[in-house]
Amino acid sequence: MARSKCAAIRVTRRAGVTAVRLSRAERYNALDNASLQGLADVLEQPTAGPLVLSGEGDIFSVGPDIDELSRLDGAGARTYSLLAHRVCDLLERWPGVTIAHIAGYCLGSGLELALACDVVAGQSGLRIGMPGLAWAMVPCMGGLARLGARVAAGTTSRLFLNGDVLEAPEAERLRLIDRQVGSSAEVDDLARDMAEWSPSAVTAIRSLRLARRLRIDVETEAALFAQPFATGECQKRLKELLAG
């Protein structure tokens, strides 16, 4: 079974379903370098069957760990982006269906992570969006391209340029999430129903879905994400946020 040495990532397997949980509840499951590396370690050991990705404490992820990001320079920001891209790429290579079970807040890179899954299931009370531009942060893990394959251009602008944060009903209407669910048990049932699906069929269907997506230039996106860190603008704004 896939395992992680990172305490921030918990992995269980039951009835043919691999459950991967972000476990930094005290930090609202913010994605730092350690947790991203922990995810990569798990995803590099794929097992047959579906994968359910969720967060501890009834929250998926508030996005990047702003305390860590506020201390990065341009090179460190580029490294963070490249690692995050690797995690999403590994998710898209998992041999079974991948399901993002999002609850509470799903923001920034948390949303980018969820969009790398085949199915995005959102619970009632969800708050989902991309508010990072206010702090000079741009997408760092392919989220703009993945979002563009799901929703209309106007919705992409609302999320990335306006920083709108949506609730579950509107997110479903705009096709940002695939379905609303009432509980984790409902997601577990969905995953078990998919446990016997043919890995080759899943791969074929995923390939067709991903063919609709704009090509992701990983190096260019990492460089663009790093640019406001290299100038110091992003760190300045993040430190102001932390101080406030």
DSSP letter (8 states) at residue 12: E
Q: Mention every residue, 6+ apart, whose C-beta is less than 8 A from residue 232.
A: none
pLDDT for the residue 208: 85
Q: pLDDT 10s digit of each residue in the chain, 244 long?
A: 556 678 999 999 999 999 999 999 999 999 999 999 999 999 999 999 999 999 999 999 999 999 999 999 999 999 999 999 999 999 999 999 999 999 999 999 999 999 999 999 999 999 999 999 899 999 999 998 999 888 988 898 899 888 999 999 999 999 999 999 999 999 999 999 999 898 899 989 898 888 877 678 999 999 999 999 999 999 999 999 999 7
Q: Mention every residue, 6+ apart, whose C-beta is less than 8 A from residue 61.
A: 22, 28, 29, 30, 31, 55, 105, 106, 107, 109, 110, 113
* CATH number of the domain residue 207 falls in: 3.90.226.10
pLDDT for the residue 137: 92
Quick check: is 204 in a domain?
Answer: yes
- The residue among 72, 110, 34 whose CA lies nearest residue 226 is 72
Quick check: is 4 in a domain?
Answer: no
pLDDT for the residue 3: 60
Q: List the domain range (segments joined by +) for residue 204.
A: 9-183+192-243
In the sheet that holds 17-22, the strands lie side by side as 9-14, 17-22, 51-55, 98-102, 119-123, 179-181
Helix (H) or strand (E) holding 201: helix 199-210
pLDDT for the residue 149: 87
Domain count, the chain: 1
Quick check: is 136 in a domain?
Answer: yes
